[in-house]
Amino acid sequence: MMEPYVRHTGRLAALPRANVDTDQIVPKQFLKRVERTGFGPALFHDWRFRADGSLDPEFELNVPAARGASILLTLENFGCGSSREHAVWALREYGFRAILAPSFADIFFANCCQNGLVPVRLLAQEIAELFRRHRAAGGEYRLTVDLEEQRVDDGLGFRTAFAMEPYRREMLLSGLDEIGRTLLAEDRIRAYERTRGGGRGRRKGDRW
């Protein structure tokens, strides 16, 4: 079971880059792990670190104002490329609870919802305004992402609504992935199987 997401207020980190693919989020050399944990340090590895292993002070997430950020603001087509779920695990383990962008790759969007990370699609002009406010605040900028009310606001005049399909929204609010959601209907599934003769196995001549 995931941690339920209802609403979250946190510091914003700005990543003004479009078409960030999953290989940039978690480079392929870190995919040898079989656990879902331990990917946080690999997040944006090739951007965060120099060749000598030291942090690159020019990278957006390495600036002091981005430390402890739990909401990521970025540009269109975030999470494109391969379907690796590791990218979402790394973002979540690093500390992000929500990502705001004009658009996401479809599989990445679904993986976010499966792992308690809220992907929020906003209009391009709304994203641009959030980048502007973030710069004006010197990076010390906080937002509330409310999934229950489906709104984003900064308490300083910016407020907008966003849409998410009810099925995925309910999963996130309840802290359930696809398996957990299915198990809620376990009694009905068993009742249906009894009416279909479940558990007898397939006999010769049976058709599916």
**Structural contact between residues 96 and 71, judged by C-beta atoms closer than 8 angstroms:** yes
Straight-line distance from the first to the last Cα atom of the chain, in angstroms, rounded to the nearest whole number: 33
Q: Is the residue at 200 inside a domain? A: no
**Residue pLDDT, tens place only, 131-163:** 999 999 998 999 999 999 999 999 999 999 999
CA dist., res. 159 & res. 86, Å (int):
32
**Residue pLDDT, tens place only, 81-123:** 998 999 999 999 999 999 999 999 999 999 999 999 999 999 9
Q: Is the residue at 67 inside a domain? A: yes
Q: Is the residue at 13 inside a domain? A: yes
Q: Is the residue at 36 inside a domain? A: yes
CA dist., res. 25 & res. 61, Å (int):
12
Total tally of structural domains belonging to the chain: 1
Residue 54 lies in domain: 7-195
Q: How many residues are given for the chain?
A: 208
Q: Is the residue at 2 inside a domain? A: no
The model's pTM: 0.84
CATH number of the domain at 183, please. Answer: 3.20.19.10
Q: Is the residue at 14 inside a domain? A: yes
State the CB neighbour count (10 A cutoff) for residue 131. 18
Q: Is the residue at 203 inside a domain? A: no
Q: Is the residue at 107 inside a domain? A: yes
